Structure 1
Amino acid sequence: MSELPETHDIDGPADQAQEDERHAALAYLDEAWNEAVYDGLDEDCLAQAALFTAIRSMVATYGEEAAAGFAERLADRIRAGEYTVPFNRQ
């Protein structure tokens, strides 16, 4: 598979339009997630299905090697707190 274009890096910096689109996509997914939990789906099942769907899409878009490289970097990013959402007390 060919190299990825520099303007669409699998986990690189995004311009403002890409960042806005990512935030919109996250809002859609959060809404769907909350609806599924409300309907009684187990969050572990949702997480596994979401990961499978996301990885399948990344492989289709970027190719197996780029998606595998992204996955290899995930452990360090998780440990660095990149996916940790702070708990806000009110």
Structure 2
Amino acid sequence: MEHSISDIDAMVREEKRLTAVESHNEAWAEGLSAGIEPEIIAEAALETAFHEMLRTHGETAALALLDHMREKVVGGAFDPHRLRH
């Protein structure tokens, strides 16, 4: 089975995303085990993410990410009762 360049790029991007999620999950668990409240960990993670987006891609990209994440929240993407594949 042959894959197009866009298919390969998508697979690489997904692998990077999964690696990032794993790293963030580990950091989250370390913070919790250090006694840091989830709200503080979440705020720090978001501040870091938006600081980096602003620094590397500018305000438009940071606001686009914020809009995208808001849509995901409203759409139930983070609902703990939602089934994931």
Q: How high is the TM-score relative to the length of structure 2?
A: 0.75
Unpaired segments ≥5 residues, structure 2:
1-5
Are 2:20 and 1:30 aligned? Answer: no
Question: Residues 35, 58 of structure 1: CA spacing in aligned structure 2 closer, same or farther, 3 A cutoff?
Answer: same
Q: Where does structure 1 differ by over 6 angstroms across 4 or more consecutive aligned residues?
A: none
Unpaired segments ≥5 residues, structure 1:
1-6, 8-13
The residue number in structure 2 matching 1:16 is 11
Offset at residue 87 of structure 1 (A): 7.0
Q: How high is the TM-score relative to the length of structure 1?
A: 0.72
CA offset digits 1:18-68 (Å, max 9, x no partner): 110110111011011101101111111111000000111111222111211
Q: Structure 1 vs Structure 2: percent identity of aligned residues?
A: 28
Structure with larger RCO (C-alpha < 8 A, sep 6+): 1
* Structure 2: distance between partners of 1:84 and 1:55: 23
Q: Residue 65 of structure 2 aligns to which amino acid in structure 1?
A: F
Of 59, 62, 66 in structure 2, the residue corresponding to residue 71 of structure 1 is 66
Aligned length: 76
Of 37, 43, 62 in structure 1, the residue corresponding to residue 38 of structure 2 is 43
Residue range with higher mean Cα deviation, 46-55 or 76-85: 76-85
